[in-house]
Amino acid sequence: MGFTHRECEYLPCHQGVKQEFNCLFCYCPLVRLQCPGPYRIYLDQHGVGRKDCSDCKLPHNGYERSWRLMMKWLSDPQPWDGLPRS
């Protein structure tokens, strides 16, 4: 349900993780979906809004906890509408 890639040159890539650092979701499967995580929006070179999830710790904070979170959100995936969370 998780692992920590201790040899990764970017570890720790998300500051403030309090439990085991889970690298299983290094590339978050929720990046194109609605999600509970904190993110900012930036415009790419074509003017399309993209998520910047670099401040999000949710998929990395603990093996069990992050696994449960991903399974919950992936059980009913909703495409991201391109808007900031309110």
Give the model's pLDDT for residue 74.
96
- Tell me: the pLDDT tens digits for 7-43? 999 888 888 888 999 999 988 999 999 999 999 999 9
Cα–Cα distance for residue pair 26/60, rounded to 1 Å: 8
The answer to whether the CB of 53 falls within 8 A of the CB of 22 is no
- pLDDT, tens digit, 9 for 90 and up, residues 50-69: 999 988 999 999 999 999 99
Beta-sheet pairing, 49-52 with 40-43: antiparallel
The model's pTM: 0.81
